[in-house]
Amino acid sequence: MCKPVTCKICGKITWEGCGKHIDEVKASVPADQWCDGNHSTTKD
Domain boundary assignment for the chain:
3-33
Q: What is the mean pLDDT of residues 14-31?
A: 96
What is each CA distance from 37 to 3, 12, 24, in whole angstroms? 16, 10, 18
Residue with the larger pLDDT of the pair 40 and 43: 40
| pLDDT for 19 | 95
Give residue 19's region: left, alpha or beta (phi > 0; psi -120 to 50). left
Provide the percentage of residues in the chain whose pLDDT is more than 90: 84
Predicted pLDDT of residue 44: 56
Mean pLDDT of the chain: 92
Q: What is the reported pLDDT for 42?
A: 64
Helix residue spans in the chain (DSSP H): 22-27
**Is 24 a residue whose pLDDT tops 90?**
yes
How far is it, in rounded angstroms, from Cα 26 to Cα 41? Answer: 24
